[in-house]
Amino acid sequence: MYDVVVIGSGAAGMMSAITAARDKKRVLLLEKMTALGLKLKATGGGKCNITNRLNKEDFINSFDKQGRFMRDALSLFDSQDLVDFLNDIGLSTHALDGFRVFPLTHDSKSVLDVLSMEMVRLAVEVKCKQDVQNIDKVEDLFFIKTGTDTFKTKNVVIATGGLGYSSLGSTGDGYKFATSFGHSIKDLHPAMLPLHVAEKWVKNCRADTIAKATLKIDIPKMKKYHMRGDLIFTQKGIRGPVVLDFATYITPLLKIYDMVPLLVNLTKGMNEEEVRNFLKENHKIEPNQSVLELLAKLLPKSVSQELCNLAQVERDKRYSEIKAVKKDKLIKLLAWTPLNVVGHDGFDKAMITKGGVKLKEIDPKTMQSRLVKGLYFCGEVVDLDGPCGGYNLQWSFSSGYLAGCMLD
Ligand SMILES: Cc1cc2nc3c(=O)[nH]c(=O)nc-3n(C[C@H](O)[C@H](O)[C@H](O)COP(=O)(O)OP(=O)(O)OC[C@H]3O[C@@H](n4cnc5c(N)ncnc54)[C@H](O)[C@@H]3O)c2cc1C
């Protein structure tokens, strides 16, 4: 008989187990994989971008309007609290770029190690290879059934993550448990993943990075969605930080449309007039340069070549030799290059799941279900997804902390 059984050993589950155990609760942590925190270990390319230095309000605003739900959790345990907590249990951190916080070791395993050691110190019972299959509630007690055992507890914390990178353990079981207790799930979509585009030319530019690219959706009423950041071309489409973040808007649209048209600015935000002036002025300085040499000041060679092909511009000619109509076409393409998104790699390559247990059915002051007493949710299983940069782990830690504190 436990005070609480936590299901899932990600950032959210381990944090709630630690907080509950510090509060003298008898805690059991169940994990279906053979080892703890596999996804945590994979974060930040193995370096683990734990959190960032944004203040609470800016952090909240980075999550769309849903972000308001996090206010209580962040008031109790924000990024500075997380940094202090990790420091107290033996992990130093730093923010080399002044924004993103990483362990000083540059190794996500060290985050996992200190959390595991703290659970040992607090006598949290940890059982791996325990795949929870269903949860029943009889009067005030929950019965948690795995393939081999049944555990009895007063409280349950569901910290089973989303659907992304299922090889690391999260296969959406939390949604199944939630619905079995009458909860509703906001539509689930893969987020934070590369996108495939219809344009075949991108493969000739693969691995080329465009700094400060702007993406916007070319659908009336959706033009307000735009983002800026680094973009990288791939064999099938586009990736890079700005694409990962923008994917949260695109994947739901791909359920409605076969193709999502984007306009991409590859010239650091220059508009048509600025591009035209730039080319004119630079051509004046070096009039014998070819168009390709001129464009090298703006773009990687492979991209310049492809845009010249699209505009039917003879790239080896001088800029002054190009017909006005072709010049206009090239300038338009340099200001806004059209790309049509036709797909993505699905949940297998999604770092985040958009959607989840509906927020209105969870009390943000406690993370307890509004429908079932003693049932708590934290981390990615909840309908919140943030951008790249430590936002999602911070949410997992903050919500895990809040749930762990608020148990009966
Ligand atoms: C490759 C990658 C890199 C990322 N990098 C970053 C980053 O640098 N910074 C950042 O902020 N975010 C990052 N994220 C996102 C971040 O990892 C997640 O948002 C966060 O880890 C979610 O934590 P969680 O505790 O809610 O769930 P998870 O970490 O997914 O943990 C859920 C756990 O529950 C277990 N489980 C599931 N079902 C059951 C069951 N039925 N029985 C028992 N156990 C079960 C799973 O095995 C898993 O261990 C990254 C994600 C990926 C995939």
Q: What is the pLDDT of residues 150-169, one digit of tens each?
A: 999 999 999 999 999 999 99
Residue ID of nearest Cα to ligand 1 atom 6: 43
- Please give the number of the atom of ligand 1 that sits closest to the Cα of 14: 25
Q: Rounded CA gap, 151 and 115, in Å?
A: 23
Q: Does domain 2-187+355-405 have CATH number 1.10.3720.10?
A: no
- Whole-model pTM: value is 0.96
The mean pLDDT value for 376-399 works out to 98
Query: Mean pLDDT over residues 210-228, rounded?
Result: 95
Q: What is the pLDDT of residue 358?
A: 98
Domains 2-187+355-405 and 194-344 agree in fold? no
Q: Is 266 in the pocket of ligand 1 (CB under 6 A)?
A: no
Quick check: CB of 386 below 6 Å from ligand 1? no
Would you say the CB of residue 391 lies under 6 angstroms from ligand 1?
A: yes
208 with 233: CB under 8 angstroms?
yes
Ligand 1 pocket: which of 171, 382, 392 to mutate (most atoms <8 Å of CB)?
392
Does residue 380's CB lie within 6 angstroms of at least one atom of ligand 1?
yes
Given this structure, which CATH class describes domain 194-344? mainly alpha
> Does any ligand 1 atom lie closer than 6 A to the CB of residue 390?
yes
- 301 with 293: CB under 8 angstroms? no
pLDDT for 392 equals 98
Residue having the nearest C-alpha atom to atom 26 of ligand 1 = 379
Helix (H, G, I), strand (E, B) or coil at 110: helix
Digit-coded pLDDT (tens) for 69-87: 999 999 999 999 999 999 9
E strands of 266-385, at which residues? 337-344, 352-357, 375-377
Instruction: Look at residue 51 in the predicted model and tell me its pLDDT.
Output: 98
Q: Cβ(154) to ligand 1 under 6 A?
A: no
Grouping H, G, I as helix, E, B as strand and the rest as coil, residue 345 is coil
Does the Cβ of 32 fall within 6 Å of ligand 1?
yes
Establish whether residue 191 lines the binding site of ligand 1, counting it when its CB lies within 6 angstroms of any ligand atom: no
Average of per-residue pLDDT across 309-322: 96
Asked whether 13 lines ligand 1 (CB < 6 A), one says yes
Name the residue with the closest Cα to ligand 1, atom 20: 393
pLDDT at 31: 98
Does pLDDT of 64 surpass 90? no
Res. 223: pLDDT tops 90: no
Q: Burial, 96: exposed, middle or buried (Cβ in 10 Å; 0-12, 13-18, 19+)?
A: exposed
pLDDT band of residue 339 (cuts 50, 70, 90) is very high
pLDDT at 372 over 90: yes
For residues 392 and 249, the answer to whether their CB atoms sit within 8 Å is no
CA 278 to chain centroid, in Å, comes to 36
Residue range 280-296: mean pLDDT, rounded: 97
Amino acid 408: pLDDT: 82
Which structure tokens are listed for 373?
A: 């007493």
CA–centroid distance, 183 to ligand 1, in Å, is 21
Whether the CB-CB separation of 144 and 156 falls below 8 Å is answered with yes
The residue to mutate among 31, 41, 43, having the most atoms of ligand 1 within 8 angstroms of its beta carbon, is: 43
Show Cβ contacts of residue 254 under 8 Å, excluding neighbours closer than 6 positions: 260, 341, 342, 343, 344
Mean pLDDT of 235-253: 97
pLDDT tens per residue, range 24-41: 999 999 999 999 999 999
Span 217-229, mean pLDDT?
Answer: 93
Exposure pattern of 276-295 as b/e (b: 16+ CB <10 Å)?
A: bebbeebbeeeeebbbbbbb
Contact status, residue 303 vs residue 310, Cβ threshold 8 Å? no
pLDDT of 207 reads 87
164 pocket-lining for ligand 1 (C-beta < 6 Å): yes
Q: Is 79 in the pocket of ligand 1 (CB under 6 A)?
A: no
- 292 CA distance to ligand 1 middle (Å): 45
Q: What is the mean pLDDT of residues 116-139?
A: 98
Binding site membership of 118 for ligand 1 (Cβ less than 6 Å): no
| Domain extents in the chain | 2-187+355-405, 194-344
| Gap from CA of 26 to ligand 1 centroid (Å) | 24
State the average pLDDT for the chain. Answer: 97
Query: Residues 195, 40, 188, 356: what is their CA dihedral angle, to the nearest 10 degrees?
Result: -150
Q: Which residue has the tokens 């791939």?
A: 234
> Measured in angstroms, how far is the CA atom of residue 312 from the centroid of ligand 1?
47
Q: How far is the CA of 40 from the centre of ligand 1 (A)?
A: 6
Ligand 1, atom nearest to 130 Cα: 43
Ligand 1: does its nearest atom lie under 6 Å from the Cβ of 396?
yes
> Average pLDDT in the 128-136 region?
98
The answer to whether the CB of 234 is under 6 A from ligand 1 is no
Q: Which residues pair with 102 in a beta bridge?
A: 94
Q: pLDDT exceeding 90 applies to what percent of the chain?
A: 98
